Every structure is written in structure tokens, then in C-alpha cells.
Structure 1
Amino acid sequence: MKNQYIADTDTNLVHTYNRFPVVLERGEGVYLYDEKGKKYLDFAAGIAVSSLGYGNREFNDALKEQIDSLIHSSNLYYNTTCGKAAKALGRITEMDRVFFTNSGTEAIEGALKASRKYAYKKQTGRCEFIAMKDSFHGRSMGALSVTEHEAYRAPFEPLIPGVSFAEFNNLESVRALVTDKTCAVILEPLQGEGGINRADEAFMQGIRKLCDEEGILMICDEIQCGMGRTGTMFAWQGYGTKPDIIAMAKAIGGGVPVGAFAMTEEVARYSLEPGDHGTTYGGNPFVCAAVAKTVEIFEREKLTEHVKEMGRYLTAQLEALKETCDMILEVRGTGLIQGIRLKKPVGETVQAAIKEGLLVISARSDVIRLVPPLVIEKEHIDEMIEKLKKVL
């Protein structure tokens, strides 16, 4: 008989998710537990969100304290945590100005609007975008317009015009699409949903140079690959270059729904003004307390160094697994965002992993995506490998 909670949920919610038949109840460390007490090793982290794992006492206490103080006040007024969170994000992003949103998709919307407003104020006449094939930036109309995935786009076309798609890691493909109407190039330094595809250093540096030469902006989508997951606070920082605008979300709030986009002072000076963009809930005291505490823990615990160490170990263990498993075609990624490309679609493998007490997710149809909490240790990697061996 179908679980009653699942049956009730399916009855009352719009069916927009293909959920797995698991009812999660609580989390502890890097493990999740369902309503019957079954334990799952979590290598999904809520799709790269729960970077500190579950039940971090310091993080939880900060949120409880903020709840007792003030949850919401609207952006008509200042609040005591917003400035603290903005300063923290400015420090780790190396950006000058921050706008808080409710999600990563909203952060992309803001980044696109800031780019167009920048061109408008500069009176360049530019309004078009170059995005990447295999990209994913969200499901709102603006974010979908720069997402190259026909299954997501087709039901909602026509989308925003003036978007062209270049080959990822092919600088000449980008260059060929630049016109006097191009206002920005948007890309993920490491594509998550698109299959765990990492940008080459020459590609990232080449885009930066191209944007400088043409007078257009470079936008990095760091929503999934940012906040320590690649071994630097943000993935672009590993390339020796710097974008003009970055979009972020997921791990910046440790599980609380919050996003942000940040920009250089130059972009801020010539882009958004009062009335151009807004949000009722973005930057409220509660989510900003989460952001500030998350950044504090990251910096104090030197989590990026831990990610580098665990990432090297994870890579080595995955490569060793590949040598013993004919099903695996390729291991790719870096740090604690890695993918295993199989010879067949991974849907059945992901479901089989759940039965073994392991939570993983897919990227495209043939890649198992591993994005665990950043606090995992070698013992957890070893446990994951053993479970995955059984499944494969």
C-alpha cells in the first residue's frame, strides 16, 4: 500500500516534481533519516545546499536567536543582520555590492536586469546575451531564456529574444556570436545540471579578455558550484580571473531559502537604481542571520581547505572504482562536485542507491551527481563507494 503521507501529498500538490518514494523526517551530520528510522548517507545535500550537514548546533542556535528577535521587516527599513550578511558575502565574493533574493533563479533574473540596465545607462544600445550549451540557470522566463535545454524551454516559448548559445569551452564559438548588441556573456564555471562540465582555464580567461575588448559584461552563475564546493569560495576564483556579476544561492544560507547577486562598483554605479528591482522577503533578518553565520563558520573552519583534501580523496576513490566497473565511462568534476558518467541512463541506479541507504542525484540522463555536505570525512567517502559498488 502506498505511504499515506505520499498519497496525501500527491493529492494536494501540483505535480511538478518526480519525487522518490522516501519520506524524510530528520537529519544528523551527513545522514538523513526517514519516518521509519532508516538511515541514508547523503551525497546530494538538498542539491548542493546543506553544506554544513544537518544539526549544526552553532548554525541552528543562530537561527533560533534570530527568530526570537525579528524574522521580517521589509526592505522599507534597514535591519541589523542584512548589512552583516552583505559585508560577509562581499568579502568572500570579492564584489562590492550585493542584492539579496529568495532563490538562485531570482538571482539570475537580477543579474540579467543589471546587465541590461548597465548597457542602458551607458547608452550602448546593447541588450542581448550569449549563454552556453548544456547550461541551466533556472525556470523563470528570464532564467529559462539563457538555459539551453529544450525540454525545459519548449512548453514556454516564445522566451526572451536576443539570446544565443555558444559551445562550452570553445572560445571561438563565443567570439563568433558577439555583436554590437551583446551586453553580457553568462556561464557556470562548472555546469552542474548540464553534466558536471568544468570550464577550462583558458576558456574562462579568454571570455574575460573578450568581454573587456568588446565592452560587455561577464556573469558567472555560482549557484551550485559556488560557496566552497570546488575548493575555493567561488569557482571563478580558481581561474585567475574575475567576473563583473555573480549569482549565488543554495549553500550561502545553509538550507534557508536565500539567494543573492553581487557586482563590482562599476556595474553598480551604472545599473540598478531605486524602483528598478525589488523583493518583499529578500534580505530579511532571518535569512541574513543564516548567511552571516554560514560564512563565519566557513571562514573559521577553513572549509575550502577541507574540500580540497576531501575532493582529492574522492577523485582517487572514484577513479579506482572506475577501474573495476565497466559500467563507468568517465569521472569528472572537482572538489566536492563530481560526476560519474555511465554507459546507460542513471535513473535506475539512483533508485537502487536509495534502497542501499545512499542518496545521490543525476545530471542529465547519464551522470550520477555527487554533491555531499562539505563536512564529509574520508570514512563517509569510503562508505559511499562501498554502497555504490553494490548498486553498480
Structure 2
Amino acid sequence: MSQSHIHSAPGIGEPHRAPRTADAYTEVMVPVYSPLDLLAVRAQGATVWDAAGKEYIDLSGGIAVNALGHCNPALIEALTAQAHRLWHISNTYKSDSTLRLAGALIRLTFAERVFFANSGAEANEAAFKLARRYGLQQSPRKYEIVSAQNSFHGRSLFTVSVGGQPKYSNGFGPAIEGIRHVPFNDLGALEHAVSENTCAVVLEPVQGESGVLPATREYLACARALCDRHNALLILDEVQTGVGRLGTLFAYEHFGVVPDVMTIAKAIGCGIPLSAMLTMARFAEHLGQGTHGTTFGGNSLACAVGEAALHAISQPELLYGVLERHDYLVSRLRQIGERYGVFDEVRGIGLLIGCVLAEPWHGKARDVAKGALTHGVMVLQAGQDVMRLAPSLNISYSEIDEGLARLEALAQELNHETVNC
């Protein structure tokens, strides 16, 4: 490249060169995503504005990430204060904010040890590697991991292999061996699959990506008993359900089943890349020095925000508010579903809610999400037949009402289209 060409290149962030349209997204991004037609530029609470100034009510919560809403003042304060002190020093040294967050997580959970990473996939990768190390130190055959069909645990090669959705693992060569998948909530299948060769059972307390399907208490209790019987680790993937989403600080508290390993992400950073694997000291020792690691995981900036988020979300009044908002939202959504015939079922726990689309809209969850966007409300899909809501845990009732009004307008439109087909 010539020197003159280098000098003529536009500067980063020059206004006349910065992409400002939704169409420009496809010109610069690797096409692994298919985002809806919204170019967000500003947000506050549960309200988002696009580049044209249109307002949207956000009932998606950044896929359960923005647990305290957009631009939360307490998080901004924590982020700004830490930014003026220390951003990153690496895990070669010790950081005070990292130690504070680890200590807070240990005080608030069953755990005695914490490993920080940047994403849910990384937290799960650490958990699965721990399980393999734990099992193989008992027997060379004890490396099998039992997981649920239609589960989702991340996008790394290990986590897509453990996840029970072949569409995410196909096309990347041979899957990692030793993974067994069983139907979710099927006690008999789980009992048949777990053996002396099992090093871990991995479950989501609520299958989020596959339709917002809660586990039964009996199923998780059975998993706990089987792991105890066969000396395997019970790993609960709380990437989506943890940190207040279900109205308890962690989902295992709601179900009354304590795991050996728990993974969290999403809400712990409220949008800052942060995740964690939590476990007991006797299991943590199997990941000794040099067996695993991360450059950015647990950096000072992320942990300072995580500490502020955890403090806010762990307050009893906020957790109780999640339960109150659940009742309010589910009641209103069921009324909309019955009035316009668009939902067969509204299910979920806390503020992880799935609206199962009625037969005329089976397989059209993405189309419904697109339609919601045209009405100024942001929702998610969970599989092909379920509209998913995962709003901020402190979303205001005025924002809920406005979002529901817009969803009702969408339901009325869908019903009208069906009647006139």
C-alpha cells in the first residue's frame, strides 16, 4: 500500500464516513447475524431511539442482559469512577475490584471459588473443562457429559457440542466426543443416561433459546440425586436465568437445588462483557495453575460494574418487584392472547416470559418480532413458535403499559390479517 494511500484514508469516526443506515450494516459485518431493521443510537431505561428519532419500548433487554435498563445511573457512576482508576492489569497481577466482586458472589451463593471470563460461552467452557478434569482424575472413562436436547450453552466448539441443537454444531467437523443428549424434563431418560462414566450433568433451569421452558423441580432434584450417586458434577447454566431474572437472585434458589458448578453472564455485567463460573473449593482445585485462563476475564473495569449491578439486583425490593411485574405482564399478555387468538400459552418465571404463538403463526416468531418492531416495541424469538420477553428487572409500569399497548396493536393487526385471509 502506498504512503499516499495511507495518508488519504479517512480518520476513524469521521462523520461523513461513519455508517448511519441499517443497510450499511451488511457492508461491514461478517454475515453471522440477521439483525432486525433498527439502528439504535440512544437509550434510557427501557426506551430506545433509532437514528431517525423513532422511539421503541425495549421488552427484549438485550437478550436478558440489560437487567437494570439502559444507561443506569449507578452503573455509569461505577464505570466512570473505575475508568479513572484502573481498567485492566491482567491476571498476572491482582485487582481490588476483581477481588471485591468475587467476594460478593461467594457471600451471596453456595460457591467458594470464582473464575471470571467475558461471556456465557467462556464461563461454560471453563465449567465443562473443569468437569472433564474432575472426572478423568477418577477414571480414564469418566468423561461423558449429559445434557438436554434443545439446550443452548454457547457458540464455542465445546459448548455447541454440549448444547442439544445440531444446527449450531453442524458444518464444523466432528463434534467433541462423549456428549449424551436426553429429552428435557424426562426423568426416565436422564436416569438411563447418567452412569459411572458421567463426569457432569449440565442443565438450564429454564431453556431460554428453545422456547422458555422451565425445568420441573422434580427433574432438577433427580439430576442432583443422580450426580451424587455417580460422583458427577451438577452444572447449572444460569447465563440467562441468573442474577435476578426469575425473582430470586439465582435460579437454583427458586428450584431448591444446589449445584456443584454454576455459570452466570448477561445480567452480571448489564452490558459490559463479564461472566463467571462459580464452584466449591474441592472442585476448583482440579483446575490448577496453567490449566485454563483468559486475558480479559475479570478485568477491573468489568468487575467494578459487576459489583454495582450485583449490589442493586440483590436488594429484596428489586427481586420482589420482578415477581410483581411477572404477574402484571403475564395477566395482560394472556388477555391479549385470548382477545385476538394470537397466543396459545404464556409461560415462564419472573421476567423471562414466553408467548407461544397460536397455530396460524407457527414457525413465524421472527416475522412477529419484525411486526412488533414496526409498532415500536422490541421483543425476541425463542425457537420458531415463541415470542420471548426479557425486559429490564426494574422496567417502569408506564413503559410496560406502553409496550403492551403496542403489542396489542400488533395482535389486532395479526388477527385482522388472519380473518381476512
Per the normalisation by structure 1, the TM-score is 0.96
Correspondence list, 1:128-139, <5 A: 128-139=144-155
Structure 2 residue 300 is the aligned partner of structure 1 residue 285: yes
- Mapped partners of 1:8, 1:387: distance in 2: 28
Aligned partner of 1:386 in structure 2 is: 405
**Equivalences for 1:155-234 in 2 at 5 Å?**
155-234=171-250
Q: Any gaps of 5 or more consecutive residues in structure 2?
A: 1-18, 412-421
Name which of 325, 334, 337 aligns with 1:319: 334
Cα distance in structure 1, aligned partners of 2:172 and 2:279: 30
Retained in 2: the 8 A contact 1:43–1:373? yes
Which of 321, 331, 336 is the matching residue for 2:351?
Answer: 336
Contact 1:130 1:166 in 2 (8 A): yes
Distance 1:72 1:31, change over 3 A: same
Pairing 1:139-158 to 2, within 5 Å after superposition: 139-158=155-174
Rounded to whole Å, the distance in 2 between the matches of 1:219 and 1:161 is: 18
Residue aligned with 1:176, SS:
helix
**Offset at residue 4 of structure 1 (A):** 5.0
Matched residue type, 2:130: A
Residue in 1 aligned with 2:16?
none
State how far apart, in whole Å, the 2-side matches of 1:4 and 1:221 are: 37
**Aligned mates of 1:303, 1:124 — CA distance in 2:** 47
Q: Could you tell me which residue of structure 2 aligns to residue 254 of structure 1? A: 270
1:42 aligns with 2:58: yes
Match of 1:238, SS state, is: helix
Q: Distance in 1 between matches of 2:403 and 2:173?
A: 41
Within 5 Å, which residues of 2 pair with 1:53-92?
A: 53-92=69-108
Secondary structure at the counterpart of residue 229 of structure 1:
coil
Find the aligned partners of 1:19 and 1:340 in 2 and give their Cα distance. 21
* Aligned equivalent of 1:364, options 383, 400, 403: 383
Say if 1:327 and 1:300 are closer, same or farther in 2 by CA, change over 3 A. closer
Q: Deviations over 1:27-81 (max 9, x none)?
A: 1111111112111100111110000001221210110111111101010000110
**Residue ranges of structure 1 left out of the alignment (5+ in a row):** none
> Could you say what secondary structure the match of 1:11 adopts?
helix
Greater gyration radius: 2
Is the 8 Å Cα contact of residues 166 and 173 (structure 1) preserved in structure 2?
yes
The residue matched to 2:345 in structure 1 has which SS?
strand
Q: Which one-letter code corresponds to 1:250 in the other structure? A: K
Quote the Cα distance in structure 1 between the aligned partners of 2:315 and 2:235: 29
Match of 1:305 in 2: 320
Q: Which residue of 2 aligns with 1:14?
A: 30
Q: Deviations over 1:352-377 (max 9, x none)?
A: 11111100010000100000011113
RMSD: 1.4
Q: How much does 1:123 deviate?
A: 4.3
Structure 1 runs of 4+ off > 6 angstroms? none
Aligned to 2:130: 114
Please say if residues 313 and 378 of structure 1, whose CA atoms lie closer than 8 Å, have aligned partners that are also in contact.
no
Is contact 1:97-1:265 (8 Å) kept? yes
Residues 303-312 or 271-280, more deviating: 303-312
Q: 2:45 aligns to what?
A: 29
Post-superposition offset of 1:124: 6.5
Q: For 2:45 and 2:316, locate their aligned partners in 1 and report how far apart those are by CA, in whole Å.
A: 16
2:365 to 333, 337, 346: 346
Identity %: 37
Shift of 1:384: 2.2
Deviation for aligned residue 1:206: 1.1
1:180 Cα deviation after fit? 2.4
| Counterpart contact for 2:244–2:314, Cα < 8 Å | no
How far the C-alpha of 1:310 sits from its partner, in A, is 0.9
Secondary structure of 2:313's aligned partner: helix
Residue 321 of structure 1, CA deviation? 1.9
In 2: Cα distance, 1:7 partner to 1:347 partner = 19
Quote the Cα distance in structure 2 between the aligned partners of 1:381 and 1:337: 14
Counterpart AA for 2:378: L
Q: Give the deviation of 1:7 after TM superposition.
A: 3.6
Separation of aligned partners in 1, 2:166 and 2:270: 31
Deviation at 1:217, TM superposition (A): 0.8
